[in-house]
Amino acid sequence: MTRRLGWCAEGDLFWGEHLKRTRALLIAVLVLAPAAAAPPAAAAACGYDRRDLPAPAGADHHRATGSSTNNSRIVGWYSPSGGYARGVLWVNSTLREMAPLHFNVRPTAVNNTSVVAGYEEVHRGELGSLYRAFRYENGAYEYLGTEPGEHSRATGVNDAGDVVGTVWREESPLVRTVVLWPRNGTRKSFGQGVAIGVTGQKIVMTTDWSGWVVDTGTGVRTELPGAGLPMVLDNDRVLNTEYLGGGRVQLTEWDLNGVRVGAYDGGFKPLGKNGSGTVFGAHGDSTPALWRKTGRTDVVADRLPDVHEYADVTDAATLIGTYEGADGKPRAARWLWICS
């Protein structure tokens, strides 16, 4: 939304030679005096207004964990009292519950047509949890290809329905491999690392404090030197935290060609970027903030978004995220920018 501050110029008054000077003076006073006495217009007050996303019946608490490219879809999960976590999808802020599974459902991403990616956490007692990546659409789950003795987690989905994530062996949980589960075809492996997201046919991943953009069709890898976690992919931009030494940090922005295109002083946690160029992140003592061309603005609102959870900023400057309620429990919400 573009706001303009305008002003009104008064036209010159012209009096003909046939009017007498005294009459002209009297008319001028009568015309100009009321305009001079009018009070100035009050400036509009703008700020963020929190709107909770609708909660499923029986939800003890709920949180947002991902949103689509155009932010029309938001996914998350909630915990019914005494039950396993269930997935939830909000479409234009309208609640749509995902079908339950026998164990915890953890959605992580959604595309513009409501295809959800995530994983199921299966409790196995003393053996610990088993993680199984899924693709979900039209009320049905599809478990994504894993080998015997392997765990998997999905972390991103593009608009074609291709899902990116990581897999690891039961006996070596610290060795993670980045994989892509295409909508059609068998899974593809891209070596050790952490999967960040997927857009079109490009995935973003990290390995040993370097970021990478990988073309899943050609296999061409483009390095983002020094780019490490925390990292996000949003609107075809990669944002990560960069440590400058001496206690200084900043957010660094890259395009998908490996070109460093921006830096945001003081930022230590990237959250997202919208199509207007606004970057959402955190600085200092976990204060949420927006970086624009004019500089940084801290977010001021009733119950701020928790920057340690998933959060994003839309093209309309609406914020998406999770906050801690007065009872100490998380709740998913949107923060609308409103001027009164």
Digit-coded pLDDT (tens) for 175-217 = 999 999 999 999 999 999 999 999 999 999 999 889 999 999 9
Residue 156: exposed, middle, or buried by beta-carbon count in 10 A (0-12, 13-18, 19+)? buried
Partner residues linked to 279 by β-bridges: 273, 291
Q: Can you tell me the mean pLDDT for 36-65?
A: 80
Residue in the structure block whose two tokens are 């998933």: 310
Chain centroid to Cα 106, Å, comes to 17
Residue in the structure block whose two tokens are 């660094």: 252
pLDDT at residue 60, rounded to an integer: 84
Place 1 in a pLDDT band, splitting at 50, 70 and 90.
very low
By three-state DSSP, how is residue 34 classified? helix
Q: Can you tell me the mean pLDDT for 154-172?
A: 97
Entry pTM: 0.85
Domain boundaries, the chain: 51-339
pLDDT at residue 81, rounded to an integer: 78
Partner residues linked to 307 by β-bridges: none
Residue 117 has pLDDT above 70, yes or no: yes
User: pLDDT averaged over the chain?
Assistant: 88
Q: Can you tell me the mean pLDDT for 249-260?
A: 97
Residue 106 has pLDDT above 80, yes or no: yes
Residue 259 has pLDDT above 70, yes or no: yes
pLDDT at residue 188, rounded to an integer: 97
Which superfamily does CATH assign the domain made up of 51-339 to? Answer: YVTN repeat-like/Quinoprotein amine dehydrogenase (2.130.10.10)
